[in-house]
Amino acid sequence: MARVIATRLLRLVATLLAVTFLTFSMLELLPGDPVDTLLPPDANRTEELVAQIRAELNLDDPFFVRYFSWLGDFVRGDLGKSYITGQTVADTIADRLPITLQLAMMSIGMALLIAVPLGILGAYKQGKWPDTVTSAGVQVALSVPNFIFGIFLIWLMAVQLQWLPATGWNRLTDQGLVANLKTSVLPASALALSQLAVFSRLVRSDMIATLQENYVLTARSKGLPDKYILFRHALRPSSLSLMTIVGINFGALLGGTVIIETMFAVPGLGFRLINAINSRDILVIQGITVFIATAYVVINTVVDLLYSALDPRIRRS
Amino acid sequence: MASTDTAPSAPSDSSTGDPSRHAIGDAARPVPQGHKPKRQPLWKIFRSMPIVVKMASIWLTLVVVGAIYSKLDVTVFDGALPLQDPNLQLNNFNPATGEFGTVEPLSAPSASHWLGTDALARDTFSRIVHGSWVSVIVVVVSVLCGVVIGGLLGSLVGFVRKKTETIVMAVVDVVLAFPALILLLALVSIFEVRDLFIISFVIGVLSIPIYTRVARANSLAVSNREFVTAARAIGTKPTRILRREIIPNVLPTLLAYAMVAAASVIVVEGALSFLGLSVQLPTSTWGNMINQARRDIKENVWQVLFPSLSLTITVLSLNQVGDFFQKRSAFRGSAL
Amino acid sequence: MHRRGVKRALAIPLLLSMVVAACGGDDDGDTASDDTSVEATTGDATDDTGDGGDDGGDDGGDVTTPATVEDTDTSIVREEGERTYGGDVIFGLEAEAVGMRPWEDACGEPCLNIQLSMMEQLMRERADGSYGPWLATDITSNDDFTVWTMTLRDGVTFHNGEPFNAQTIVDMYPVQQSGTSGAAAINAAKLASLEATGDMEITYTLSTPNSAFPASLAGVLGRVFEPKAAAADPDGFTMNPIGTGPFVMDKRDIDNETVVVRNENYWMSDPDGNQLPYLDSITFRPIPDEGTRLDSLLSGTVNMMHSLRQGTIRDARGADGIQLYEFQGNNTGGGMYNTAVPPFDDVRVRRGLNLMNNQEAVIDALGGTGISLPATQWFSPDSPYWTQEAADAWPTFDFEAGVESIQAYIDDPARSDGKAPGELIDVELSCPPDPTLIAAMQVIEQVWTGSGLVNVTLTQFDQATHISNAVNDAHRAHCWRWSSNQDPSLAIDPVVAPPEESVSNFPNFFNEESFQLAQQALQTDDVEERTELYKEIMLNFAEDSIFWYSGYTATMVAVDPSIQGINGWLLPDGTLGNGFPNAFVTFTEVWIEQ
């Protein structure tokens, strides 16, 4: 086990180095002077400002020296400062991250709540009509892009029924849970749809496999109630792979909320990223990209380690 | 797969109930175990399909044919084939007739314009058919990248193991670590890449790792089969084993997987288009058609509906057909 | 060359700040134009990323139908009704405005709404187009308009308790000089120096005559911020701006909401003696998506929104239960030809292309039929400077005449592009990659190509590259925006100045007469006389055909019907203000009906 952890961590470090290096190189690969790219077109380009930027970014140093000093800054939480908004990139991320995190967690939670019972139902009634109906529904849910579902949700829940606000965000810390839920339910639902489909398919296929395992068949032959078998014996192994995919999805969602956040005017990481892209705020693009990529890598490693720790088969080997 | 707009890496998860990107799950993957997979004629396979899968494959065929047809129409026949010019504004001056058109923009479906017209009075049916070219290219290029590079790499390391495997899989992990949509957004926005083939290629490169993992898992399993160990024992050259035994057995699963992966690739391109960050206008793509028509959704809902349906049905079909082939290769494997 | 370099250093920030503007909506609206700058901007009326080529719908194919603006009441009147205190406005803006430093950050429409709820102008524009004092009480000039003396309002204090007086203006000046927007505004106003000539009196000395100087005081130059706070923490000012205005910053959550609350010590009262403002608070929310912004209003998520998109205005007109305030601005979409490059050096080509520009079809493609009028000059019919004569002189769509004009050039053995007679002319048409602009560009392209005489290539570059192409003379037929709702001199002067002296003369065309007329207009403050002078310039523009136009900018503020007082607010001297130009709302007298 210690060996598994050690190799995993070693790999993590190597991956992080590569990821940061690639993101850092993006700015390098751009043609022209980086200062031209960094400053907004209407900036008052005084000699001092240019000199200051060159100094701040160590632009006169060789490439690798710059990379490592940038990496050092990144480790210390310093990703530079946007020359357009004047905010530091770290502050920007710290400000937006909770919102995107909440959206990601809510959507995963909502998806799990619906997906697990659906998946169990499908496995239990495999081949019968409840399975057919849910499978078909899941297929459709999987195929509807979330931006299309988002348009539909706003039209239905906000404009037609007027149950929920169409856009905006009430921060949990400022306005309390109820106000926060009002603004978060719609975007989270839009994100939940496709995950719901993924999760329920996973649960269903895993359950079908485990239901045929010997120990389940033994339990059945003992005459244990179906409910007991489904939840005690069959769901457990599935929960491992479910955990893995939830972890992966979570990492992916950090960068995957861009469209939904823009559509619902939710001021999360993705919204900021699109704004930065539109104003070519390179340092913010770079900072958010490297942050999300790092989070993604770390989360995946943690999930892997957890998986190894929890799955007896792996632990033994 | 994760949220629809994330990564081409995602689909494996949805398709196989097992997150294939995690090495641990690999052993459980169904693997074709036969020595030489038997080839079945296409029509036989088609006949064995459930009705839904049949419809799905017909739709996919239509999409591909439409894409090729529309491209031929523009490049070879110079618009002579019976399909309207997707970029001709039918309410504006028409160079062909020398007159101004009278077709109304945002018109509902009619006999002359099967799916109506968009805000510039362009024929929506034609734009959807032409838009399929973009989807098809993105899929073909990225799948080619994935199957050829990822498949070869995966088959190789699954067979050779040792240091090669460690190094290749470490590199694969790095690429896999990038959130694909974020990277694409960064590329398209910073470098202003608007070329269809380059975008497709980038999506393809980003999906290599996942193909590598799928191929490796299968290659691992195949390498342990009797016919491979036997071949090794009698001193067959490793390259020959790889070529004759491993790859032919890995390929069917990989292709089945590619179908499902293609679905999410299409969604990624759709998302890029939707953000206005894909290929240059006026080239129509389903994503940018949805985006453009969205403004007029209160005037004419059809123009959003049709490209959305095309996108959704195509994704649905790819999933169906992919699932079918995946099950089939697994079934055949266990039957042998 | 060197001289031009210096000019350029001054002019480019100015230009860029405004150009990005109208294409607005990009991110931090602070990349947008401000009212001091020459509002020559790229893009079309209401463009922004994400807007599809929407369409007005009906008479697209019918070329002969004259486009008219539907009968919407755009006159400015003071609303009747009893003013009541209290209530909160939630205002959905098209973009976030991050920068709140008037001396530094360019400020587009979303930004102006936020900034001017907290900061005030020395002068404001009246409904009749003249300028009246706001934080000033009076302004007079010497005979040749080179020295201006202004008196300031007594008893005004900043939100932080600092008094407002002549020293304030003096202290503001170095801060303005150091900032991007401030320096550009000083340059445009031709201001050389200022000094306090009394506790409440400022004397401005200009480098050249400028009869329109008060207009500059209604823009960035005259936007009063608390100079001590600004000097102490320039960057912090963005999060906590301090002015004298009717509302005070309460909370800034960038990209989410900016909340301003009633200034209990505001100096101004309504004609009945009630202290202003009436509202308790305003919450500004950036909602970049045009569709969901309107949905937000219709669902009650916000109770006020604005839009600079014709397509959105059309949709809002079709919606129930909201009140629209529409405005037809001077800002004109279209483009220009770089006359330094053949074949655009020949007026026959430019005129021919203009004759083949089907303005109504272009507006239709933008979704603006019945919303935006085809432009014929740099003033909308609502402007006092609009003239029928100039409107008649502008070449309207005439396909045959266009073909004839270009044919004449093509058949000319001495044609300037060096091609053999009979060969097609090459036109490279370039716009930023905005879906609405692309739509407009395609409409033009189809007609030009349709003539059989023009070989059109379409190119798209991002906003910044598009602008730098114009600055570096790498442009051919180039999308651009013209004019503003400010004094005409601010928009026209840089464009008619000799190209070697003015970077902003992007068409690189010099008409001595236009240049002289513009100079004369700065030496008189007689509106009729100036109208006549600018009319002559417009006639020259039509004759020289250096620009093409699409439509005027239509903008809209849409509100819940209970919100009143957007239209007819008053200046301190009791005259009627200029309403809601370009969807910028003055909140002093806005109230919510109980």
Chain A, nearest residue to B305 by Cα: A148
Which amino acid does the sequence have at C471? V
Mark yes or no for CB contact B105/C57 under 8 Å.
yes
- ipTM, 2 decimals? 0.81
Mutation for testing the A interface, residue in C91, C285, C289 having most A CBs under 10 Å: C289
- Which of the four pLDDT bands, split at 50, 70 and 90, describes residue A44? low
Phi, psi of C430 (to 5 degrees): -130, 135
Question: Closest Cα partner for C366 from C55, C590, C152, C24?
Answer: C55
Q: Calculate the average pLDDT of chain A.
A: 80
Q: What confidence score (pLDDT) does residue B31 get?
A: 43
- What is the CA angle B118-B119-B125, rounded to 5? 10
Question: Residue C509: exposed, middle, or buried by beta-carbon count in 10 A (0-12, 13-18, 19+)?
Answer: buried
DSSP helix/strand/coil, C344: coil
Residues B56, B41: Cα–Cα separation, whole Å: 19
Q: What confidence score (pLDDT) does residue C544 get?
A: 93
Through-space distance between the first and last CA atoms of chain A, rounded to whole angstroms: 9
- Chain C residues in contact with B292 by the CB 8 A cut-off are 52-54, 435
Cβ partners under 8 Å of residue C578, min gap 6: C76, C124, C125, C126, C127, C129, C485
Query: Which of C53, C314, C358 is facing B120, going by the closest CB pair?
Result: C53
Cβ partners under 8 Å of residue A317, min gap 6: none
Query: Which of A87, A166, A263 is facing C299, going by the closest CB pair?
Result: A166
Of A43-47, A131-135, A291-295, give the lowest mean pLDDT range.
Answer: A43-47
Residues C28, A280: Cα–Cα separation, whole Å: 11
Which amino acid does the sequence have at A231? F
User: Nearest CA of chain A to the CA of B76: how many Å?
Assistant: 34
Chain B, nearest residue to C364 by Cα: B120
User: Nearest CA of chain A to the CA of C13: how many Å?
Assistant: 4
Mark yes or no for CB contact B3/A194 under 8 Å.
yes
User: Nearest CA of chain C to the CA of B178: how many Å?
Assistant: 25
Q: What confidence score (pLDDT) does residue B26 get?
A: 38
Query: Any idea what DSSP says for residue B25?
Result: G
Query: Which of B103, B281, B298 is facing C318, going by the closest CB pair?
Result: B298
Of B24 and C299, the one with more pLDDT: C299
Q: Are B291 and B243 in contact (CB under 8 A)?
A: no
Give the residue-averaged pLDDT of A28-52. Answer: 67
User: Nearest CA of chain A to the CA of C249: how many Å?
Assistant: 17
User: Nearest CA of chain C to the CA of B274: how many Å?
Assistant: 8
- Chain C residues in contact with A154 by the CB 8 A cut-off are 292, 295
Q: Are B207 and B8 in contact (CB under 8 A)?
A: yes
CA C375 to the chain's CA centroid: 15
Residues C385, C383: Cα–Cα separation, whole Å: 5
* pLDDT tens-digit series, residues A145-177: 787 888 889 888 888 888 999 888 888 887 888
Give the residue-averaged pLDDT of B21-41. Answer: 47
Mark yes or no for CB contact B191/A311 under 8 Å.
no
Mark yes or no for CB contact C55/B297 under 8 Å.
no
Cβ partners under 8 Å of residue C202, min gap 6: C149, C150, C152, C166, C169, C170, C194, C195, C196
* pLDDT tens-digit series, residues C109-136: 889 999 999 999 999 998 888 899 999 9
Mark yes or no for CB contact B1/A277 under 8 Å.
no
Q: What confidence score (pLDDT) does residue A78 get?
A: 86
- Which of the four pLDDT bands, split at 50, 70 and 90, describes residue C312? confident
- From residue B84, alpha-carbon distances to B96, B105, B325, C75, C400 in Å are 12, 15, 36, 46, 27
Element containing residue C304 per DSSP (H, E):
strand C304-307
- Which of the four pLDDT bands, split at 50, 70 and 90, describes residue A42? low
Strand-pair partners of C455: C426
Structure tokens at A154: 């706003």
- Taking the Cβ of residue C295 and every Cβ of chain A, the question of whether any pair is shorter than 8 Å is answered with yes
Mark yes or no for CB contact C287/A168 under 8 Å.
yes
Query: Which of C98, C292, C464 is facing A167, going by the closest CB pair?
Result: C292
Question: Closest Cα partner for B178 from B153, B208, B198?
Answer: B208
Through-space distance between the first and last CA atoms of chain C, rounded to whole angstroms: 64
Mark yes or no for CB contact A169/C256 under 8 Å.
yes
Cβ partners under 8 Å of residue C39, min gap 6: C18, C21, C22, C33, C330, C331, C481, C482, C483, C484, C485, C486, C490, C491
Mark yes or no for CB contact C315/B298 under 8 Å.
yes
- Chain C residues in contact with A262 by the CB 8 A cut-off are 288-289
Any idea which residue has 């003379």 for tokens? Answer: C473
Mutation for testing the A interface, residue in B1, B4, B12, B210 having most A CBs under 10 Å: B4
Element containing residue C281 per DSSP (H, E):
strand C281-286
Mark yes or no for CB contact A280/C257 under 8 Å.
no
Question: Closest Cα partner for B220 from B270, B175, B280, B159?
Answer: B159
DSSP-derived secondary structure for C110-156: HHHHHHHHH-EESEEEBTTS-EEESSEEEEEE-TTSSEEEEEE-SS-
Neighbours of chain C (3+ CB pairs under 8 A): A, B
Question: Residue A14: exposed, middle, or buried by beta-carbon count in 10 A (0-12, 13-18, 19+)?
Answer: middle
Mutation for testing the B interface, residue in C23, C26, C27, C54 having most B CBs under 10 Å: C54
Mark yes or no for CB contact C55/B89 under 8 Å.
no
**B/C interface, count of CB pairs below 8 Å:** 112
DSSP-derived secondary structure for A69-123: HHHHHHHTT---B-TTT--BHHHHHHHHHHHHHHHHHHHHHHHHHHHHHHHHHHH
**Prior bond to B252 cis, omega within 30?**
no
Residues A306, A250: Cα–Cα separation, whole Å: 15
Q: What confidence score (pLDDT) does residue C188 get?
A: 85
- Taking the Cβ of residue C464 and every Cβ of chain A, the question of whether any pair is shorter than 8 Å is answered with yes
Examine the pLDDT at A242 and tell me if it is beyond 70: yes
Q: Are A277 and B275 in contact (CB under 8 A)?
A: no
* Domains of chain B, start order: 43-103+114-333 (1.10.3720.10)
Which amino acid does the sequence have at B198? I
Chain A, nearest residue to B327 by Cα: A205
C 172-231 residues with CB below 8 A of A? 179-180, 183
Strand-pair partners of C206: C191
User: Nearest CA of chain C to the CA of A111: how many Å?
Assistant: 25
- Which of the four pLDDT bands, split at 50, 70 and 90, describes residue C74? low
Query: Which of A11, A255, A259 is facing B182, going by the closest CB pair?
Result: A255
Max intra-chain CA distance, chain C = 77
Chain B, nearest residue to A250 by Cα: B2
* pLDDT tens-digit series, residues C266-310: 999 998 889 999 999 999 999 988 888 999 999 999 999 999 888
Q: Are B84 and B117 in contact (CB under 8 A)?
A: no
- Report the predicted TM-score, pTM, of the whole model to 2 decimal places: 0.81
- Chain C residues in contact with B296 by the CB 8 A cut-off are 52, 54-55, 311, 367
Domain ranges in chain C are: 329-552
Residues C417, C342: Cα–Cα separation, whole Å: 5
Mark yes or no for CB contact A166/C296 under 8 Å.
yes
Phi, psi of B244 (to 5 degrees): -90, -30
Burial C350-365 (b: 16+ CB within 10 A, else e): bbbbbbbbbbbbbbbb
Cβ partners under 8 Å of residue C68, min gap 6: C370, C373
| Residue spans of beta strands (DSSP E) within C312-416 | 323-337
Mark yes or no for CB contact B312/A145 under 8 Å.
yes
* pLDDT tens-digit series, residues C478-533: 998 888 888 899 889 889 999 888 778 889 999 999 999 999 999 998 889 999 99
Query: Which of A42, A278, A281 is facing C106, going by the closest CB pair?
Result: A42
Residues B226, B245: Cα–Cα separation, whole Å: 11
Examine the pLDDT at A21 and tell me if it is beyond 80: yes
Question: Closest Cα partner for B277 from C274, C72, A285?
Answer: A285
Q: What confidence score (pLDDT) does residue C63 get?
A: 34
Mark yes or no for CB contact C17/A166 under 8 Å.
no
Mutation for testing the A interface, residue in C10, C26, C28, C175 having most A CBs under 10 Å: C28
Neighbours of chain A (3+ CB pairs under 8 A): B, C
Structure tokens at C571: 């200046």
Q: What class is the C329-552 domain?
A: alpha beta
Mark yes or no for CB contact C358/B104 under 8 Å.
no
Mark yes or no for CB contact C60/B298 under 8 Å.
no
Mark yes or no for CB contact A280/B189 under 8 Å.
yes
- Taking the Cβ of residue C241 and every Cβ of chain A, the question of whether any pair is shorter than 8 Å is answered with no
Question: Residue C535: exposed, middle, or buried by beta-carbon count in 10 A (0-12, 13-18, 19+)?
Answer: buried
Q: Are B6 and B181 in contact (CB under 8 A)?
A: yes
Neighbours of C329 (CB within 10 A): 24
Q: What confidence score (pLDDT) does residue A41 get?
A: 53
- Which of the four pLDDT bands, split at 50, 70 and 90, describes residue C5? very low
Max intra-chain CA distance, chain A = 84
DSSP-derived secondary structure for B274-313: HTT-SSPTTS--HHHHHHHHHTTTTT-THHHHHHHHHHHH
Could you give the dihedral angle defined by the CA atoms of residues A17, A22, A23 and A25, in that order, rounded to the nearest 10 degrees? 120
Residues B56, B318: Cα–Cα separation, whole Å: 7
Neighbours of chain B (3+ CB pairs under 8 A): A, C
| Residue spans of beta strands (DSSP E) within B93-157 | 93-94, 99-100
Mark yes or no for CB contact B316/A142 under 8 Å.
yes
Domain ranges in chain A are: 2-75, 93-316
CATH no. for A93-316: 1.10.3720.10
